[in-house]
Amino acid sequence: MNSVQDSAALPVKLIAIVFVPFASGFFLSILLRYVNAVIARDIAADFSLSPSDLGLLTSVYFLVFAAFQIPLGVLLDRFGPRRVLATLLLFAAAGGLAFGLARDVTELALGRALLGLGVSGCLMGSIKAFTLWFPLARLATLNGWILAIGALGAMAATAPVEAIAGASGWRMVFYVLAACAAAIAALIYFVVPERALPGAGETWSRQFSEIGGILRSVFFWRVALALIVVHGAYQALQGLWLAPWLIDVGGLARPQVANTLLASSIAYGVGSVIFGTLADRMARRLLAFKVGMALAVLAFFAIAAGVREWAPVVLMVYGFGACAAALPYAILTQHFPRELTGRVITASNIFMFLASFGVQWGVGALLRLWPAVDGRYPAEGYAVAFGIVGVMQLAVLLWLLPMKEPQR
C-alpha cells in the first residue's frame, strides 16, 4: 500500500488536486438541494402550485437521487469517482438549464430530476476518492471538511440566491448553476488523477450481489438508520419547509428567513469541522455521532413545539447537531472491506434520500389538511407534521445510543 495510505498525513498537493475538485462538486450539489427554499414562493406563484405540489416538485430531486444510489455505488467501485462524477455533472448542467427554461410543471419536474441525477454522486464519489487517496485514519476529518464545504453551499442557497433572484429572477439562478456544473465537471475530469481501484476485475453480478451482505448487517442498520432518518429529515426541512415555518409560525419577513437559514447553515459547517476533527483525534467516532444526533433531535422537538423568540438559535443548534452525519460514512467504511466502500456509503444514502423525499412531500400533504389564511398555514399544522417526523427521529436515536464503539 502507498505510504500516503499508511500515514496520517494530509499532503497539500493531494488536497489541491483531489479534495478541492470533489469538494467543489459537493458545494454545488448542496446549493442545488436547498435552492428552492428561498425561491419556493416565487415558483409556486408563477405555476400556481399548492404546498403538496411544491413539496412533490422539490422532492423529485431526492427521489431520483435515491433511485440512482445502488447503481452509483457499483459504478464508483468499478470505474472510480473521477470518471463517474465528471459524467454525472453534465446531467446536472442540463438539468439547471431545463429548470430555468421550464414553461410548465412537467418541464420543472424534468429539470429537477436531471439535477438530482447529476449531483447524486458528489458526496459519495468524494468519500470514495478519499478512501483511495488518503489514510483512513483521517477519513472523518476529511468528511467533516467536505460537509463544511457543503454548508457553504447551503449558505449560498439563502441570502445570495435571494439577492440574485431579486435582481434577475429565479430563472437566472439556474442558468448560472448550469454553467457552474459544466465547469466543475471539467475540473474533476482534467485535474483529478486516476488511481488503481481495490477489487478491480470483479464481475457485475458479484458487485451487485455483495450489496445484499451489506444490507443484512445489523451493524450497518444501527449506524445508518440515524443518518437516514435524522439527517434525511434535516435536509428535507432545510431545503423547503423551514423557510415557510419561519414565515407562518415565526412571523419573519423573507430577508430575515434567508438570514436565519444562513445562520443555521453556518452552524452546520462549523459543527462539521468540529465533529469530524475531534472524532478522529479522540478515536471516538460513534460517541461524537451520538452526541450530534441527540442535539439535532432535541432541537427539532423545540421547532415542532413552535418555538418563536429563540427560533434562530434553535435552528443553529439543529444544524450544528445534524452535521454529525459526516461520521457514519467513516464508521461504516472502516467496518467493511475497502473494495466495498462505494456500495456501503451509497446503500445508506439511498434510504436517506428516500426519507428526505418522504418528509418533504409528507409535510406538504399534511399541511393541506389545515386551511391556509392569506397563504399561511397554522402552527397546529406544522406541529402535527413536524411532531410525526420528530417521533421517528427519537426512535432511531434510542436504538443508536446503547451501541458501543467498534473495535479497530
**pTM metric for this prediction:** 0.73
Can you tell me the distance from the alpha carbon of 285 to that of 278, in angstroms, rounded to the nearest whole number? 8
The separation between CA 139 and the C-alpha centre of its own chain, rounded to angstroms, equals 18
pLDDT in tens, 140-162: 889 888 988 988 888 888 778 88
Cα-flanking dihedrals φ and ψ of residue 25, to 5°? -65, -40
Q: Which of 353, 357, 373 is nearest to 365 (CA)?
A: 357
The separation between CA 144 and the C-alpha centre of its own chain, rounded to angstroms, equals 13
Dihedral sign, CA of 119, 124, 128, 130? Answer: positive
Question: Euclidean distance between the first and final Cα of the chain, in Å?
Answer: 19
The answer to whether 151 and 28 have CB atoms below 8 angstroms apart is no
The answer to whether 264 and 238 have CB atoms below 8 angstroms apart is yes
Report pLDDT for 8.
Answer: 55
- What lies within 8 Å, CB to CB, of 364 at 6+ separation is 50, 51, 52, 53, 54, 55, 56, 241
More confident residue, 138 or 394: 394
C-alpha cell at 300: 427539532
pLDDT at 385 over 50: yes
pLDDT in tens, 14-72: 999 999 999 999 999 999 888 877 787 788 888 888 777 877 787 788 788 888 988 99
Can you tell me the distance from the alpha carbon of 75 to that of 73, in angstroms, rounded to the nearest whole number? 5
pLDDT at 4 over 60: no
Can you tell me the distance from the alpha carbon of 8 to that of 354, in angstroms, rounded to the nearest whole number? 35
